[in-house]
Each structure stands twice: as C-alpha cells, then as structure tokens.
C-alpha cells in the first residue's frame, strides 16, 4: 500500500507539471490516468502493447457502465474482452519467460500462481484476477473527485490540511465515502429461505443491499446529509453500519478488500490538493446527478489556473 501511495504521489506531481501549461483540465479524466499509470507501475504491468490512455479508457469504462444496460454496457463488455486479451497475452509472456519480472511483481505472482492441485490458473482466469486489481484502483478516481468537491465546500478543513493537519485526514476521507454516492446498492442471492420484518425471502431470490441508504440512515448517522468529522466510522469497522463497499467482514465474506488502499490514496490526494498545488474550480460545481449510476459531477470537475505550490507542510 505504501509503495502504491508513493508511486501515486510521484505520478500526480509529474502530471501537475503538464497541467500548469494547460488552460483547463477535467480532474476525473486526469486522476483516472494517474491511477492507471500508478497501478500499472505498481503491479509491473508493461504498457507496451497498450498505451496508458487506452488502458485507462478501458478500465474506467468498466466502472462507468457498471450500473447500466444497453449499448454503452455492450461497448464496455467488448472493451473488457479486449483488455482481457491484452492482459492474457502478458500472462502468457511471463510464463514463457519472454517477459522477465521481479519475483515479487504482483502480476507475476498471479500469472505463476498454482491452485491447491498444483496447476497454473487458466490464462483467462489469471487475466481476470489481474484486471480485478487494476480496475478498482482506477475506480478510486471518482472518490478523489468527491474529495476535491468536499474540500471546495469545507474550506476550513482545506485550510487545516494545507497547514499540515494529518490527524483528521482519515476522518475526512471516510466522511466523503459515507456521504457521496458511489454504488447505491449491490445484489446477492439468498442462501436460505428466511423471514425479515414480515417479508419472506425465498432461497435463491435476488436481494439488494442498500449501501447509500444504510450510510444515510439517521438512526446511525444523525443529520445524515451534513458533512461531519465527528462520526465514528472507518474501513476498520467490518460490519453492516458503514457500508460504502459492501457489508460484512472482508476476510470471510465478499466485502471489498480494497477499502484501506482506497482511503490511503484519498488521503494522499487531500495532501497533494491542499499542499502541493493551487487551482480554481471553474464555475459552480454542478450538483451530482443521482439518476446516473455511479454518480459524477458534470464534466468530471473542471479546474483551471493550476500551479505547483509547496506549502512544505506535513510532506
């Protein structure tokens, strides 16, 4: 996690050099690209047969169309198959020795993983497992846009972080994950027939867990629509109260195992946004369109007059 965080910071500062020369950027597009470059470097995925821009488009397309039906979803599925073919060819090259990577390179570990019977994974399964690491890291870009929106609205916190406050970074990131909408719900199949509050749910029936509603339940979160750092929440709480990435315990259920790394990169984004650059957010930030899944501000949050500026605080 620490290595990914350091790479992410380096890639952001490198991108920042180019932003200074450009009039305006879309934070969403730029951060997705930074995350793509970061996770490719971290995992040792070679960007030879595909450009960072191309891979970014494919990985972010998978997230953008996660909640949809119709042509865009089909296009995303087609892109996904193209990405699977590319990553599959990387797995093949690692196995044949054509591509040599360090022993601890994450994609080599997956490519050479043997199951309990001593067999290598099918190429397509290994490719899917690698994509299951690449894609969600790029998905963090949406939370980083929400973080920048929250900093814009909570100027007193932005000032404190600029002055070097480290203690509240995590609470800020967690409150962004609670308040802002990502995946509104997730689906699952009932494993047993059961009754719940007078409703009978049959074994095999599809049920939805309302993530956004649970995170805004006033019984657990007083004044749920207010941004507050005084709530006792965090990824370490592996239960069913605070569920931005699903419920339960990640070590035994399907709850997302990527919450800690998500929060680590969001904290790094706060540091860079408040201590290493100045910028202006163009116009008023448009409200989030909640009918779009997952939600995003229009144009992915546009910024201009970007300058590198090191406050020197808390680096």
Least distance in angstroms from the C-beta of 33 to ligand HEM: 16
Least distance to ligand HEM from the beta carbon of 215, Å? 12
Residue (of 132, 125, 114, 172) closest to 148 by Cα position: 172
51 forms bridges with which residues in the sheet? none
Distance CA 138, CA 132 (A): 11
**CB 214 → ligand HEM: shortest distance, Å?**
12
Give residue number: closest CB to ligand HEM.
258
Give least dist CB 162 to ligand HEM, A: 25
**Is the CB of 250 or the CB of 313 nearer to ligand HEM?**
250
Residue 249: left if φ>0, alpha if ψ -120 to 50, beta else—which one?
beta
Burial class (CB in 10 A: 0-12, 13-18, 19+), 129: middle
N-terminal to C-terminal alpha carbon distance within the chain: 17
Q: Tokens 């997730």 appear where?
A: 186
Q: Which two tokens stand for residue 43?
A: 């995992």
How far is Cα 4 from Cα 264, in angstroms, rounded to an integer? 9
Question: How far is 134 from 129, CA to CA, in rounded Å?
Answer: 9
Choose between 132 and 226: whose C-beta lies nearer to ligand HEM.
Answer: 132
Contact 214, 185 (CB under 8 A): no
3-state secondary structure of 148: helix
CB 242 to ligand HEM: min, Å: 13
Q: How many CB atoms lie within 10 A of CB 8?
A: 27
Cβ-based nearer residue to ligand HEM, 258 or 297: 258
For ligand HEM, the closer CB: 9 or 275:
9
Assign 258 to helix, strand or coil.
coil
Min dist. Cβ of residue 65 to ligand HEM (A): 15
- For residues 15 and 256, which CB has a smaller minimum distance to ligand HEM in the complex? 256
| Residues in touch with ligand HEM (CB under 6 A) | 132-133, 136-137, 139-140, 143, 182-183, 186, 245-246, 254-258, 261-262
Q: Considering beta carbons, is residue 169 or 266 the nearer one to ligand HEM?
A: 266
Instruction: Please count the other Cβ atoms lying within 10 Å of the Cβ belonging to residue 17.
Output: 9
Pick 121 or 186: Cβ nearer ligand HEM: 186
Smallest separation (angstroms) from ligand HEM to the CB of 234: 15
Least gap, CB of 262 to ligand HEM (angstroms): 5
Choose between 162 and 183: whose C-beta lies nearer to ligand HEM.
183
C-alpha to C-alpha distance for 96 and 261, rounded to whole angstroms? 32
């Amino acid at each position: 996690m620490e290595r990914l965080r350091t790479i992410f910071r380096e890639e952001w500062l490198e991108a920042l050099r180019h932003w200074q020369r450009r009039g305006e950027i879309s934070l969403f597009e730029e951060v997705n690209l930074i995350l793509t470059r970061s996770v490719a470097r971290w995992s040792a995925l070679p960007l030879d047969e595909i450009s960072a821009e191309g891979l970014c488009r494919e990985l972010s397309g998978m997230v953008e169309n996660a909640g949809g039906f119709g042509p865009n979803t089909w296009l995303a599925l087609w892109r996904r198959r193209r990405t699977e073919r590319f990553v599959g060819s990387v797995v093949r090259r690692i196995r044949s020795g054509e591509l040599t990577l360090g022993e601890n390179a994450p994609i080599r570990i997956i490519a050479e993983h043997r199951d309990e019977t001593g067999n290598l994974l099918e190429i397509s399964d290994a490719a899917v497992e690698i994509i299951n690491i690449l894609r969600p890291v790029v998905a963090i870009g949406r939370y980083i846009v929400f973080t920048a929106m929250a900093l814009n609205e909570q100027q007193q916190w932005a000032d404190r972080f600029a002055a070097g406050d480290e203690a509240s970074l995590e609470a800020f990131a967690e409150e962004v994950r609670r308040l802002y909408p990502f995946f509104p719900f997730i689906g699952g199949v009932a494993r047993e027939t059961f009754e719940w509050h007078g409703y009978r749910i049959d074994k095999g029936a599809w049920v939805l867990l309302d993530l956004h509603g649970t995170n805004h339940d006033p019984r657990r979160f007083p004044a749920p629509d207010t941004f507050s750092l005084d709530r006792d929440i965090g990824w370490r709480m592996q239960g069913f109260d605070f569920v931005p990435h699903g419920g339960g315990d990640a070590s035994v259920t399907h709850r997302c195992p990527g919450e800690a790394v998500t929060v680590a990169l969001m904290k790094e984004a706060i540091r860079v946004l408040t201590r290493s650059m100045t910028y202006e957010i163009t116009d008023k930030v448009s409200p989030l369109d909640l009918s779009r899944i997952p939600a995003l501000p229009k144009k992915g949050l546009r910024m201009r007059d970007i300058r590198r500026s090191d406050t020197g605080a808390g680096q």
